[in-house]
Chain A
Amino acid sequence: MMAIRELKVCLLGDTGVGKSSIVCRFVQDHFDHNISPTIGASFMTKTVPCGNELHKFLIWDTAGQERFHSLAPMYYRGSAAAVIVYDITKQDSFHTLKKWVKELKEHGPENIVMAIAGNKCDLSDIREVPLKDAKEYAESIGAVVVETSAKNAINIEELFQGISRQIPPLDPHENGNSGAIKLGKPATQASRRCC
């Protein structure tokens, strides 16, 4: 049995760039044109193998708190990775992305893996952000970068694979959270459901 590592991944980016759609595609392989601004789903999980580990991604959505610039710092506490999304058809959203990166550098966890997703690449005929710009920027900050289409399921898997590869292997000595307690329902309940 491979060890399961839970990895918190937070999503960042302008309202409407497709953050939730990317997760929805990744986790459920589903795309909904009329996805309403994120309500009711606070995070989704998906487990994927990586080397001799299993990575269980706990993907946190912003719950709309970014809309009026009021994202709480607890949102990126303890995140192993951040997916920062922009819309290739909106230059502004690429500009905001840089602000998010700065924000993460200042207040996010150290050594957080950053992955930049230029979403809506199916609309490249109305593209405003050249891929080259994104690549150069990503390189300058040491981030993974990929253009995605949640709609057409392009590069979504690759995005998360890229993250998985960047996650440093587990160091048994280094664990800041050792002994942290998660509250919750009695453990018996959880162990009952087994496939």
Chain B
Amino acid sequence: MADTLPSEFDVIVIGTGLPESIIAAACSRSGQRVLHVDSRSYYGGNWASFSFSGILSWLKEYQENSDVVNESPAWQEQILENEEAIVLSRKDKTIQHVEVFCYASQDLHEDVEEAGALQKNHASVISGSPTEAAHSAYLPSEDESLCTVSCEMPTEQTPSSDLEPALEINDVEVTGEKEKRYDDKTCVKSASEEETSENVPTAEDTALPPKKNRITYSQIIKEGRRFNIDLVSKLLYSRGLLIDLLIKSNVSRYAEFKNITRILVFREGRVEQVPCSRADVFNSKQLTMVEKRMLMKFLTFCMEYEKHPDEYKAYEEITFSEYLKTQKLTPNLRYFVLHSIAMTSETACNTVDGLKATKNFLRCLGRYGNTPFLFPLYGQGELPQCFCRMCAVFGGIYCLRHSVQCLVVDKESRKCKAIIDQFGQRIISKHFLVEDSYFSENTCSHVQYRQISRSVLITDRSVLKMDSDQQISILTVPGEEPGTFAVRVIELCPSTMTCMKGTYLVHLTCTSSKTAREDLEPVVQKLFTPYTETEIENEEVEKPRLLWALYFNMRDSSDVSRNSYNDLPSNVYVCSGPDCGLGNDNAVKQAETLFQLICPNEDFCPPPPNPEDIIIDGDSLQSETSEFSVIPEANSETPKESTSLGNPEEASQ
């Protein structure tokens, strides 16, 4: 690295998750000199998203489980007599119980045509190019070969569930495999049993009629860059704090969003759509006329429930679900309201919280579409990057792959004064923000963490087929037994730029009671069926088929009080990792609170000054060039295909 870092800052931020990135942006925007580092090679920490090969590398990192060899220059000699060090962890312990299953057939059919898809000289980018496998990130360096990625499960017990036995994802050598699409004659090998690392190319070319969307594992590998697989699965409430912040700070210009198109429920073995907007309710075929009226009446009441305290005061002490029974609602409607609109459970929430949640849901309807939620194109992992860019635009300095060995604390004042980085460089600063996972066990020995159970699935069709296949859906499956938690299912279609054509990316999330697979597999089994070769010819197979599945547990540090960390100096602030909730309010609140501690009385991410983007309206300029003259900005319309709700980037003249 030719460039060396400056040795003094106002704020050093360690970790590039969403809260850290928002704070970095806010501080930089307020004129603080910000250094933002992450020990990983990618942005976002546990908020990141990965291409398919990127997620395989990520998995490998956790499965190898090896301690990072410490080659860094010793920091000890740099600690003076009146100082002490808080050593940071060099190993991330936030991800556990990682299990991977591959159901898609792993055919290694060699004789397929190049199908015209060879573009330019570098069509090999995906197929087996040795660098592709590494981090979905970014810098042409230190990449590892795909061929080393094998996703065996580190579990003690072999998965002996009803699902097909797990496959080891073989060291798929796709080099030489050329693009193929329709000519893929279902030359699938049984994707099961004890295939080990050698793929025996027993492609029995059964003469089945060509089926169009038989996605194979090597196709997934080849199209791997089309995936953006989020580690956390969240949505943005269209009137939530994050949307407000994105708009206020103008960071929204760096991202584009899609509206969630459907709210679904799973009842009596079937997936149904929940009508939630006025139009939905009236168009619904599931509801009777009477039900429609009941629901509209109730929802209208919820919109301004505070004005009618007499209607619910008497029920304040009971759960929301009990309260709903007192209202004129059929069981059908009660189920919709409880699980899909208030998004709560039978026992979890009282009447007022339920009304509040219902009102919040309704308030968010219609701002951008028919449901209250937005999803960022390319995945949730874009959002931290957007705030980081804002920070950089205002002078913040960014260093990925940069770890910090320790914080240096002055014994007398009990304040942190510097960090010592991996190169042994001492960098002083006034404030230090550290993401929870960077603290060592010494610092967190008293911290009680919760866990989040996560699953990511690649499937071949939607859980609820409709005329349009580009649907983005959220589905809540209530916990079955008492003590288990509701599972949130978010299904993303290719137009969200998170999965390849012909597939859907499905995220499952719940608060953990056991390992992720134990928590989530029952729901996966209800909604999906493992992909197998012996497919019934019948096109109308009820359930979508699983092509690939990943389970893992993520540490939830969101509710940890600062006091539970040992001996933190007052100018060291802790940011938490992702929480289990659907929205991002927690991250924004946290960021704002910490920002106020660092920069009291400063505005939190105010809009940038107009000339930030220097827009030249051409009149005075460049008139001499002939064909290529500047056209004055006549208006600020964006192309019609994007629903632009304004034009943030236009500065005044």
Contact = CB atoms under 8 A, between A and B. Distances in A.
Interface of A: 1, 3-6, 15, 27-29, 38-49, 54, 58, 63-65, 67-75, 77-78, 99, 102-103, 105-107, 110-111, 140-142, 157, 160-161, 175-187, 189-191, 193-195
A181 B374 contact: yes
Contact of B648 (A46, A75, A102, A185): A185
B326 interface: no
B141 interface: yes
B393 A63 contact: yes
B447 interface: no
A141 B628 contact: no
Nearest to B497: A176
Nearest to B630: A46
Contact of A4 (B400, B630, B637): B637
B136 A107 contact: yes
Given A40-B612, A142-B120, A157-B625, A186 B138 contact: no
Contact of A182 (B256, B389, B653): B256
A44 B613 contact: yes
Contacts of B642: 177-182
B413 interface: no
A29 B621 CA distance: 7
A180 to B, nearest CB: 4
Interface stretch (B108-116, B377-385, B474-482, B588-596): B377-385
Interchain residue pairs A-B with the least CB separation, the first 8: A184-B646, A63-B392, A183-B252, A185-B646, A190-B647, A72-B385, A70-B398, A180-B256
Contacts, number: 247
A105 B369 CA distance: 35
A70 B398 CA distance: 6
9 contacts: A42-B253, A44-B614, A69-B139, A102-B140, A180-B643, A181-B374, A181-B645, A185-B646, A186-B646
Interface of B is mostly: loop
Nearest to A184: B646
A176 B495 contact: yes
A40 B392 contact: no
A140 B254 CA distance: 32
Interface in B611-645: 612-618, 621-622, 625, 627-639, 641-645
A107 B362 CA distance: 39
A75 B120 CA distance: 23
A195 B633 contact: yes
Given A175-B641, A180-B643, 12 more contacts: A29-B622, A48-B629, A65-B398, A73-B385, A74-B385, A106-B140, A184-B253, A185-B646, A185-B648, A186-B645, A193-B636, A194-B634
A73 B368 CA distance: 26
A193 B131 CA distance: 48
Contacts of A1: 634
A194 B650 CA distance: 11
A106 B131 contact: yes
Contacts of A179: 258-259, 495, 641-643
B612 to A, nearest CB: 6
B614 A191 contact: no
B43 interface: yes
B472 to A, nearest CB: 11
A191 B645 contact: no
A48 B625 CA distance: 11
Contact of A191 (B43, B252, B368, B636): B636
Nearest to A54: B631
Interface in B589-615: 608, 612-615
